[in-house]
Amino acid sequence: MRITDLVVHHRQVPLRMPYSSVIRGTVDEAHVTLVELVLEDGSSAWGEAVSMPAVTGETPGSVVAALNGPLRAAVVGRRTENLEETCDRVERSILGNGGAKAGVDIALHDAFARGLGIPLYRALGGGHGTMETSITVGLGTPDEMALRATELVKDGFTALKLKVGHAIAHDVQRVEAVRQAVGPDIRLRLDANQGWTAKESVRAVRLLEDRGADIELIEQPVSARDLRGLRFVRERVDTPVVADESVLTPQDALEVVRQEAADVLSVKVQKSGGVRGVLRIVSIAEAAGLTCMIGCSLETEISITAAASVVAARTAVTHVDLDAPLWLGASPVRGGVSYRGPVLELPDAPGLGVAGVLPVPEPSA
């Protein structure tokens, strides 16, 4: 099937509640760019591009410019069954711009699986389409985070990711308050978003270990480029260390492996250029004997369905953090993944199972 056009749909989606982290600050809406590949039979395939200025350097404006310029030129006129060749063209069309490339890559994978008449997760080799996700507790006071954690546990979540990365004394108080509130059976993961130095990280994690906080993992405690610091932490704590912002590309993953800087690689379709980039990083982790966590930014069901399809297909992805649609006040997408509490269910429809996107609401009078 030939691609006849690429159409960009930008949406600003209010969140259910403000979202706070060291790397983002506090936000109350998500900016998402939905990518439509129009096919010669009049049908459409769908992708999504998310700007992450502090991670990939992209803004909503740069994402749209890349999509309407070199990325559109790379795919219009190409055939959807030539997936690898077209993905190569996308990768070579512009330097960087991982989020924009992800939007096109996801749509190409959607179109490819639709052409086969099967869900994307099955096209990638997956046998089942259900999984359990953790959910994030945004940065706040100890009491605020404990209250939110308690609410989420009542909703059935058994794994919580706590945002930390401020002064370590306050962060330790946050974690201890949550642990006391939720009890010993809930898995707690920490995400410092590069907020600590290497020595601060060791002090914070050791203190939590000594106090029996029972942390499942610590994600990106130090600056993304400080792989020596990441290894310094890994060698001095018992808690598994996750490289997130340090791993944007397969080349980054290779360097983390070479330096023995992490126990787990965190992969995201939006920072790694789409499904193909994530699959390559997961393969590197498998070869190195590491595992992966697949995570997300503030994304819709389109991007999350693509990410979850990788989870369904690759056993090296042992930690799932795909809660983003649960933060959205109202989804602009029709179809894709659905949630039953912490259980994420992939659709059995072809491709991503996305039927389309909703129009921009008319402004109230």
Q: Give the residue numbers annotated as catalytic, written as ranges.
A: 163, 268
Give a three-class secondary structure readout of the chain.
Answer: CEEEEEEEEEEEEEEEEEEEECCCEEEEEEEEEEEEEEECCCCEEEEEECCCCCCCCCCHHHHHHHHHHHHHHHHCCCECCCHHHHHHHHHHHCCCCHHHHHHHHHHHHHHHHHHHCCEHHHHCCCCCCEEECCEEECCCCHHHHHHHHHHHHHCCCCEEEEECCCCHHHHHHHHHHHHHHHCCCCEEEEECCCCCCHHHHHHHHHHHHHCCCCEEEEECCCCCCCHHHHHHHHCCCCCCEEECCCCCCHHHHHHHHHCCCCCEEEECCCCCCCHHHHHHHHHHHHHHCCEEEECCCCCCHHHHHHHHHHHHHCCCEEEECCCHHHHECCCCEEECCEEECCEEECCCCCECCEEEECCCCCCCC
Contact, 78 vs 111, CB < 8 A? no
How buried is 184 (Cβ within 10 angstroms: 0-12 exposed, 13-18 middle, 19+ buried)?
A: exposed
